[in-house]
Structure 1
């Protein structure tokens, strides 16, 4: 299979410009690699935060295209997300981030995750879907961290140590944490997995979002998962178009909200307050809104690709 993929110096510089990393001068990569060695966690947190706020999470490739497929090839991902400045769903966003982190010198690998029925359907019965998500495990100073830049609205907004019960700020008053527990469907209850949970405020209940182990998955594993998520007839990804991007505070120190396009609305959520920015009546309006709020400029052939699909706005 050859060596794990990495990006070139020119590609890394282009990525840093894409996420609006400050001071992208001739020495930025040298300085950044030094930060990886001397202050890895802060550097990882900064890159993750900027990625989430610059690169939208979405599934446009399954709707606004002529092929309605998703490729996880490193160069295809780079062209789509960095050069074309489009969105990507979990394995696209995390796939690019995975290669960038490795190229910068981080010790990182990927594992698979199951999305909970609570997150997928709103019904928390303790059950989970089949493997359909990518989680990154980054090792910093000997400690493992969960890193995720591809889970939409409830995506983790900072690296979470694989440590039970450590609560962290999510967005505004909402919180996130990891616990380790068995699943209701496991026969062997001694087997436990990590469960990523969020809650809206300190008095609300914790909602399970994803479960995962820290066992490394290989590219061929994600090829199978990607095919299922993008092509299975019952997968909602091929039926509904969504797009989301996080919002950073003016000081660029924390994530304070998100832009969400779903159905016929574009919403802005900041500090728990939701504002409807635009009601979408047709495809022309949605395409313009994608450019305005998410920086996505679609080609005419891509725009025409949604014609006749259930996700087309008529």
Structure 2
């Protein structure tokens, strides 16, 4: 799941946002060091994966992880070093390898987002295509389990204020819990827990963040930063005293010479969610005509590395009728699209995804997302 307003802001104003809390951001080394989490969280159990060891090795090669004989033996014998260093490397390689996109929803006759594990493996690894959050995060979730990481899935409520009539920064609007997130405990000897999210899109995390009040990490470049804070969910009516806070993921983007604000991306709790929850939420995203961006917009987002150290990321974005390239505070329009034929050609040119033109044109015809034929 990704927020309509977030995508549009990212497309038109890569460092614009609407929400709360003025702040400034110093330029520091890329690796942030938040305080350590408490050891009071429950231990996440290791679980089996939907993928075989052979599939896991093929996936590691696909994302660009160097699969040596030693790594092959580690995967096959369940001795792969499932630690924070590898979590960082693997998640970032995967983020770049697989685009965020909803072409099946718009250009496929069924207008569905298939999130079945074997379908996702075929689509990502074999066909070099992408999916939305349920697909991208869902496959990574299962691959992490295959590699020995201790993980479970959650769901977040996305800030949808910009595209909800009557909503304001003071009275924000949120979606139902439609966005899949992942909790990971990468240390073998404690319950330090990290939030991982490779499936949000333009304003989402690009590296794991420690699940701790005030923890922060840099985003695509050092002009972008994410933090975690606790705050009450807007509009709550619970009589609990004191009211229970939720986690809030906020983002800060820097524009030279301008005062900056933190804005909220989404809010979540630590409740575990399951396959049935994701099937239900995925159906809502694909079929409900209001409240999500996927029904009414064609969206493709692909990250790419901009330096040899793989620290900074750029973003290639197709939203509606425009293709943009964003790196830090710099944004460039690459193509304005006037017809569906032009957009289908651009999807292949910029994202490497080839559609059956006849089927695609027939499938999108008459939908709110369609351009002139």
- TM-score, with length taken from structure 1: 0.91
How much does 1:252 deviate? 4.1
Larger relative CO (CA 8 A, sep 6+): 1 or 2? 2
Q: Against the structure 1 CA distance between its residues 309 and 108, is the aligned structure 2 distance closer, same or farther, given a 3 Å change threshold?
A: same
Paired residue for 2:339, among 257, 269, 282?
A: 282
* Structural mapping, 1:1-314, within 5 Å: 5-21=49-65, 23-31=66-74, 34=79, 36-37=81-82, 40-118=83-161, 123-124=168-169, 125-141=171-187, 142-172=191-221, 173-188=223-238, 190-201=243-254, 203-234=259-290, 235-300=292-357, 302-304=359-361, 305-314=363-372
Q: Distance in 2 between matches of 1:30 and 1:101?
A: 16
Higher helix share: 1
How much does 1:15 deviate? 1.7
Q: Distance in 2 between matches of 1:272 and 1:31?
A: 41
Q: Distance in 1 between matches of 2:204 and 2:260?
A: 18
How much does 1:216 deviate? 0.6
Q: Against the structure 1 CA distance between its residues 228 and 295, is the aligned structure 2 distance closer, same or farther, given a 3 Å change threshold?
A: same
Q: Against the structure 1 CA distance between its residues 27 and 275, is the aligned structure 2 distance closer, same or farther, given a 3 Å change threshold?
A: same
Structure 1 unaligned blocks of 5 or more: none
- Mean CA deviation greater in 167-176 or 9-18: 9-18
Aligned 8 A contact 2:303 2:314 in 1: yes
How much does 1:230 deviate? 1.2
Aligned 8 A contact 1:35 1:43 in 2: no
Aligned 8 A contact 1:55 1:85 in 2: yes
How much does 1:34 deviate? 4.8
RMSD between aligned alpha carbons? 2.2
How much does 1:190 deviate? 1.6
Structure 2 unaligned blocks of 5 or more: 1-46
How much does 1:65 deviate? 0.7
Aligned 8 A contact 1:119 1:208 in 2: no
Alignment: residue pair count: 309
Q: Against the structure 1 CA distance between its residues 279 and 216, is the aligned structure 2 distance closer, same or farther, given a 3 Å change threshold?
A: same
How much does 1:299 deviate? 3.3
Q: Against the structure 1 CA distance between its residues 123 and 135, is the aligned structure 2 distance closer, same or farther, given a 3 Å change threshold?
A: same
